[in-house]
Amino acid sequence: MDRLLVLLRHGQSDWNLKNLFTGWKDPDLSPKGVEEAREAGRRMKAEGLVFDRAFTSALSRAQRTLTLACETLGATLPTEADSALNERDYGDLSGLNKDEARKKWGEEQVHVWRRSYDVAPPGGESLKDTVARTLPYYCQRILPAVLRGERTLVAAHGNSLRALVMTLDGLTPKSIPGVELDTGVPLVYRLNADSTVASKRILGA
């Protein structure tokens, strides 16, 4: 049985390009992001990966990444979209330029909001909060599909996927803040029957 789970961060968005905090805001992919999504499809196709189903967030940049990657793969997949996989909510920082935020609140405070595990920006979520909504959805919806042998593609966001990587890779609250996921780069996991990781590959450039 091929217990395949591939995690794919969406391609670059217009707001990534403009260095803005995005969170639950819903900008589209940039032209570079469109190409990253297609390239992700090409890399997965070159690996011979075939999927049975997909999961994505409620935000269009993740959904469009999934659509473009699947078009390149030549696949039409039953897909479930849920806000549990949305990006971390940056609250009052959403829509602000990161450099402007540093001027307003200070370099150190913005770094704490961005990189700590359990400190949330005003009106927003910490990574710990993101884990708390993403992980139950993974355990209830995604993991059972993978363990049934349904080869599964998840297109979502940097922080919602970091929550899953934290679980899969056995990372701690101290180590996860240093983990970065590149846009449009598939992470290929194969799981054991007990849901532990048998292997992991990053389909980078």
- 10 in catalytic set: yes
Asked if residue 70 lies in contact with residue 77, where contact means CB atoms within 8 angstroms, the answer is: yes
Which is it for the CA torsion 128, 134, 136, 139, positive or negative?
negative
Nearest to 176 by CA among 121, 135, 146, 122: 135
Q: List phi, psi (to 5°) of 67.
A: -60, -45
Distance CA 46, CA 173 (A): 35
Single out the residue of 29, 19, 39 nearest to residue 63, CA to CA: 29
What is the distance between the terminal CA atoms of the chain, rounded to a whole angstrom? 28
Antiparallel, parallel or unpaired: β 53-56 and 79-81: parallel
Contact 112, 106 (CB under 8 A): no
Catalytic choice (36, 87, 125, 150): 87
Give the catalytic positions in this structure: 10, 87
